[in-house]
Amino acid sequence: MTGTPAVHLSGVGYSYPDGRRALQGVDLAVAAGERVAVLGPNGAGKTTLMLHLNGVLTPTEGSVAIGGRRVGRDTVREIRRAVGLVFQDPDDQLFMPTVAQDVAFGPANFGVRPPELDERVREALTAVGMTEHAERDTTHLSGGQRRRVALATVLSCRPEVLVLDEPSANLDPVARRELAEVLARLDATLLLVTHDLPYAAQLCTRAVVLDDGRLVADGPIDEILTDDALLAAHRLELPWGFSVPHRRS
């Protein structure tokens, strides 16, 4: 990897207050513009890892840096501009009376004011195909639409790194495809935390496998997803009949 990584974890360990070890010596570097799937069974530490990337959690050991800036008390506000987290449940991110107000909330909180704020809202809603719903109440939207609005609330902050937690969960096939099309068009460093291996294969070129808080595999996603022994050892499984597409180099 040349240049400063967009994301760099060095020896990251984390223990919850009850003493449970959630991360153990994680080393990971992600280049700017790279798309990386973070895979692993339930309880592997994937969400804990995600929450370290913008300072929601602080490592017990080691360090996290975003674009060369170490995550810490003095940098957390700047880091949260740079790293956008999209949670699995849109209800964690949608709480304003209208779609447009939800999308404006983040950048407004960072000090952005009209007319730039209005432009950011338009830009984000256009990116996710939700412009015509700007004045609707988010509770009246479908699950797929709500997921795309939640993504727009993060895009309006213009993050350098986009981190998504189980983005395809509970979506019907059409909504799943629509969201994948939106994500495929985005120009950002992407970390996709998911159990949905076909979705990861569709959107990412690299995969890492986390289990018991340790990084146990890292490589091209087609190699990871065709390693049957590796998948079985870490309770990962492709759907019946799914074939990993070969990627041209």
Range of the domain at 200: 7-88+162-233
Q: What is the mean pLDDT of residues 131-156?
A: 94
**The pLDDT value given to residue 247:** 60
The number of distinct structural domains making up the chain is 1
Residue 80 lies in a domain: yes
C-alpha 18, offset from chain centre = 27
Show the tokens assigned to 200. Answer: 């990861």
Whole-model pTM over 0.85: yes
Residue 108 lies in a domain: no
pLDDT surpasses 80 at 72 = yes
Residue 194 lies in a domain: yes
CATH code (residue 23): 3.40.50.300
Between 135 and 241, residue with greater pLDDT: 135
Show the tokens assigned to 69. Answer: 């800036």
Please give, one letter per residue, the 3-state secondary structure of 187-202.
CCEEEEECCCHHHHHH
Question: The tokens 């949260």 sit on which residue?
Answer: 80
pLDDT surpasses 60 at 249 = no
